[in-house]
Structure 1
Amino acid sequence: MTPELQKQHEDMVAYEMIKNLKDIYEGQARQERYEISKALFQCKMSEGAQVGAHVIKMMGYIQTLEKLGFALNNELAIDVILQSLPDSFNQFVLNFNMNEINKTLS
């Protein structure tokens, strides 16, 4: 906690301090969640780009959302990544979905 923030809260009881900090930072977290989810849902891999780098980038967005308290379940996260692939991956996506083995995000 910064010295200024400490001084601002020195006369408060724990509940008041937590409530005040939540009020201060909740708006920032909401804005960050919006920006990250927007980037995730609009992310599209360009034809010829490296799949590994693209998936790692999307996994980073997903992990950041989880840290912000907005976790996507595993199946939805996989669906979002598959939908971000270009049309040249249609056969791969079809095979992936037909194979009913439980899959992890990685």
Structure 2
Amino acid sequence: MSSSNHNTFSLRSVLEKEKLNGSNFLEWYRNLRIVLRQEKRDYVLEKVLPEKYRSNALQSEKNAWDKHSNDVVDVTCLMLATMNSDLQKQYENVASPIEMITSLKAMFQEQARTERYQMVKSLVECKLPKDAPVSPHVIKMMSYIDNLGKLDCPISQELATDIILQSLPSSYDQFIMNYNMNSLT
């Protein structure tokens, strides 16, 4: 097995590990884009297959269309193979990855929005109780921040730090002031 085939297999295994089941659309879609980018096929998620070439087309045009057509079939099959059986049944007759992704986004967009809202709410409401240990609190907040990144809502390191510092009780005011004055980032 060549190294490029090995890399492709390794990345595809990410998609095969956890099939799209409805509750993991954003993560599945992000992994799909990563795999397709590595395989140099990510264009089929955005570029519609043009009408078939005419008989008098240049060989290069024929080759380009054939490659695009084959990539559409391969990506469609990869997408179907990495879905649970209910979604496979629903999408097995959809011939275009673009149509499939558009439909999946519409289906799961509200769910993702609700999940993002709940995660932001939990992050903003997270406050360290007085006399509680800081380390578990920061780890909990970092998990919220990481989850927001997975939901396509990343928070910068600087903003994450500010949110965590804001969550500390007033007994940490001196620490926060020293932190900000000394730019401890």
- TM class by smaller structure: over 0.9
Task: Identify the residue that residue 2 of structure 1 maps to in structure 2.
Answer: 84
Deviations 1:62-102 (A, max 9, x none): 0000110111111111000000000110000000000124x
Q: CA deviation at 1:3?
A: 1.1
- TM-score w.r.t. the length of structure 2 is 0.54
How far, CA to CA, are the matches of 1:27 and 1:90 in structure 2? 39
Q: How much is the aligned-residue C-alpha RMSD, in angstroms?
A: 0.9
Task: Identify the residue that residue 181 of structure 2 maps to in structure 1.
Answer: 98
Letter of the 2:179 partner, please give it. Answer: F
Task: Identify the residue that residue 89 of structure 1 maps to in structure 2.
Answer: 172
How far, CA to CA, are the matches of 1:4 and 1:75 in structure 2? 42
How far, CA to CA, are the matches of 2:183 and 2:115 in structure 1? 35
Gaps (5+ residues) in structure 2?
1-82
Corresponding position: 1:42 with 2:125: yes
| Poorly superposed stretches of 4+, deviation over 3 Å | none
Q: CA deviation at 1:15?
A: 1.3
Task: Identify the residue that residue 57 of structure 1 maps to in structure 2.
Answer: 140
Q: Which of 6, 12, 15 is matched with 2:98 structurally? A: 15
SS at match of 1:46: coil
- TM-score w.r.t. the length of structure 1 is 0.92
How far, CA to CA, are the matches of 1:6 and 1:84 in structure 2? 44
Corresponding position: 1:80 with 2:80: no
Q: CA deviation at 1:2?
A: 1.2
SS at match of 1:96: helix
| Corresponding pairs, count | 102
Identity of aligned residues (%): 50
